[in-house]
């Protein structure tokens, strides 16, 4: 996994190289989290993500993994875009779409899931750096335990132990917060 310092040339960020290396990665990740967002909107989120990186890279630690930063920024931009789109479409004639609406229970369930995801993200953000990296690699980047161990230079058993501990912590905190754990 590449770090920010791998893209610094002559004390400047080589943004073109970052774009080449991470455009596909971001596209796939955004597509997985955005349901039916138009391609133009996905491309806009990607462009905005790279712009934020370019503006803020001097504030970052050179040893930060660039993929983690890009994922975090793109998610924030994506959720803001989805939130804006939701309010933008409030004036649509609802009768045109009556056949695709979910039941009230399905909508409430969706909101509960979104709240639960934010709750879990807060729990993960409160863990140590290595556990957070393992969690992100396993759940967000869908890497295998063997691959994570190789990337981080740790044993597979350490990766498994960290995943077990963070899942246990998430379960405990979810139950304490009144959420169902599945």
Q: What percent of the chain has pLDDT over 70?
A: 77
Q: What is the pLDDT of residues 41-97, one digit of tens each?
A: 888 888 998 898 888 888 888 888 888 888 888 888 888 777 766 544 444 444 444
Q: Identify the three-state secondary structure at position 102.
A: coil
Separation between Cα atoms, residue 4 and residue 53, nearest integer Å? 10
Q: What is the pLDDT of residues 114-127, one digit of tens each?
A: 677 777 888 888 88
Residues 87 and 112 in one domain: no
Residues 96 and 109 in one domain: no
Separation between Cα atoms, residue 94 and residue 19, nearest integer Å? 40
Closest listed residue to residue 181, CA positions, set 124, 133, 119:
119
Residues 55 and 129 in one domain: no
**What pLDDT sits at residue 93?**
45
Residues 96 and 108 in one domain: no
Ranges of beta strands (E only) in the chain are: 8-9, 12-13
Separation between Cα atoms, residue 124 and residue 135, nearest integer Å? 8
Separation between Cα atoms, residue 62 and residue 45, nearest integer Å? 24
Of residues 92 and 111, which shows the higher confidence score?
111
Contacts of 81 (CB under 8 A, 6+ apart): 37, 41, 44, 45
Q: Identify the three-state secondary structure at position 8.
A: strand
Residues 129 and 169 in one domain: yes
Separation between Cα atoms, residue 40 and residue 48, nearest integer Å? 12
Separation between Cα atoms, residue 134 and residue 162, nearest integer Å? 7
Please say which residue of 86, 101, 116 terminates a domain: 101
Of residues 171 and 35, which shows the higher confidence score?
171
**What pLDDT sits at residue 146?**
93
Residue 169: which CATH number?
1.10.10.10
Residues 72 and 108 in one domain: no
Residues 75 and 110 in one domain: no
Q: How many domains does the chain have?
A: 2
Please say which residue of 56, 79, 101 terminates a domain: 101
Domain extent, residue 35, equals: 1-101
DSSP, res 141 = S
* In the predicted structure, residue 142 carries a pLDDT above the cut 50: yes
Residues 108 and 82 in one domain: no
Residues 108 and 84 in one domain: no
**What pLDDT sits at residue 121?**
82
Mean pLDDT for the chain overall: 78
Residues 97 and 110 in one domain: no
């Amino acid at each position: 996994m590449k770090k920010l310092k791998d893209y610094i040339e002559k004390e400047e960020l080589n943004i073109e190289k970052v774009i080449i290396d991470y455009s596909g990665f971001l596209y796939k990740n955004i597509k997985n989290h955005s349901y039916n967002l138009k391609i133009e909107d996905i491309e806009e989120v990607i462009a905005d993500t790279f712009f934020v990186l370019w503006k803020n890279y001097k504030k970052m630690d050179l040893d930060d993994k660039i993929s983690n930063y890009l994922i975090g920024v793109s998610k924030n931009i994506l959720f803001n875009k989805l939130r804006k789109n939701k309010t933008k479409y409030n004036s649509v004639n609802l009768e045109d779409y009556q056949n695709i609406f979910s039941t009230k229970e399905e909508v409430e369930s969706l909101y509960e899931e979104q709240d639960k995801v934010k709750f879990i993200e807060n729990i993960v953000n409160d863990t140590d750096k290595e556990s957070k990296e393992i969690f992100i690699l396993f759940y967000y980047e869908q890497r295998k335990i063997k691959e994570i161990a190789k990337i981080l230079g740790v044993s597979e058993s350490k990766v498994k132990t960290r995943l077990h501990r963070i899942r246990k912590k998430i379960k405990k905190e979810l139950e304490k917060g009144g959420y169902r754990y599945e």
